[in-house]
Chains A and B, each alone.
Chain A
Amino acid sequence: MKLKYVNPIFKATVDVFKMMLDIDAKKADAYSAQDIANTTIHVVVDITGDLSGTISYAFPEKMPSDMVAIMCGMQMDAFDSFVESALMEMANIISGKAAVYLSADKYNCDISTPRLSLGRQMIDEQNSALVIPLSTPIGTMGITIMLKEAIIL
C-alpha cells in the first residue's frame, strides 16, 4: 500500500488526538496479539472517489470512555450512547481531516458516515489491509487501512 495515502490518514489521527484530547499519539512498534485481542470497538468509514475502500479505527474496550472523559472532564464508566456518539463524531472528524490531507496529494475522496462494529475482528490480510498501531497514554489503538486507487479507463 502506498505511503502517500497512508501517511495523511495517520497524520489526521495524530493531529485530532492532539487537538481534541491534548494527547500525543505515536506509532507503536508492534500491534501485539494481546492488543488485537483487547480490541473490541471498531468504527468503520467507507472511502469513495480516487481511492476506494475503508478506514477502520479499532479501540480497546475502555479507551473510548477515557477519550470522552478527557473531553468533558467527567468520569465515564461505560460505553453507552453518549460515548458512542462522541466517538463516532471524532472518527468523522479524523476522516474528514484525512480527506483534506489526501486532497493536497491529489486524491479527491468522499467519506461515509462512520458505522460501529462491536466484537473481536480478524484483520483481512488477503485484502492487503495495513494496520497502523497507535500508542497513547490511554491505550493502544489500531488504524486498519484497506484502500485501492480507482482505475482510470
Chain B
Amino acid sequence: MWKDMYRINVPIIDQQHQELFHRVSRFISALRSGGHNADKTGIVEDTLMFMAEYVVSHFHAEETWMREINYPDYIAHEAIHRSFVQEMQEFTERLRACGYDDAILQPFAGRLLAWLIYHVASEDQKIGAYSNGGRTCENEA
C-alpha cells in the first residue's frame, strides 16, 4: 500500500506514515480475508486501539513540525486532523456497539483507505514542499 511518492522527506513523519499504512493494510487484509467475523475481531480491535493512540501521537508530531517551520496552513491542517480523530472515535463506538458488524466495518475501511491516501498524498505533501524549501502552499498561491 505504501508508495515512495508518499514521502514528504521529513524522516520522522515519513516513518510514522509508513507505520500507519502498514497497520491499515494489515487491517484491510484481515477484513477482506473472507473468514468469520469472530476471527477478524482481534485484529479489528487491535487496529482501532492502535489508530486511537498512534494517530493522535502522529498528528501531534506533525503539528509540532508545522509549528516549528511556521507552516502557513497550520490551522486548516490541524482542523482536518481534529475532524478525523472525532470521526474515528464515533466509528469505533458504533463498531463496538454492533459487535464489529461487517456491514459497518467494510464501508469504514473503504473510507479510511481513501482518506489516508489522499491526506498523505496531497495535504501532507504541502507540508513537505514547504519544509523542504518550496515555501508555498495552495492557499497562498
- In the assembled complex, the Cα of A81 lies from the Cα of B32 at a distance in Å of 11
A147 within 8 A of partner (CB): no
Specify which chain A residues have a CB less than 8 angstroms from the CB of B110 in the assembled complex. Answer: 68, 81-89
B interface residues, tally (CB under 8 Å): 24
B52 within 8 A of partner (CB): no
A16 within 8 A of partner (CB): yes
Interface residues of A in 73-119 (CB under 8 A from B): 73-74, 80-90, 93, 100
A interface residues, tally (CB under 8 Å): 22
Count of inter-chain pairs, beta carbons less than 8 A: 68
B122 and A86: CB pair below 8 A?
Answer: no
Specify which chain B residues have a CB less than 8 angstroms from the CB of A93 in the assembled complex. Answer: 114, 118
Dominant secondary structure of chain B at its interface with chain A: helix
CB A85 to nearest CB in B, in angstroms, measures 3
- In the assembled complex, the Cα of A90 lies from the Cα of B114 at a distance in Å of 6
A82 and B107: CB pair below 8 A?
Answer: yes
- In the assembled complex, the Cα of A86 lies from the Cα of B108 at a distance in Å of 9
Specify which chain B residues have a CB less than 8 angstroms from the CB of A84 in the assembled complex. Answer: 107, 110
Specify which chain B residues have a CB less than 8 angstroms from the CB of A90 in the assembled complex. Answer: 114, 118
B114 and A81: CB pair below 8 A?
Answer: no
Q: Which of A20, A22, A73, A81 contacts B103 (CB 8 A)?
A: A81
CB A145 to nearest CB in B, in angstroms, measures 22
Q: Show 7 residue pairs from A and B whose CB-CB distance is below 8 angstroms, ordered by the A residue.
A: A16-B122, A74-B29, A81-B110, A82-B28, A85-B114, A88-B110, A88-B111
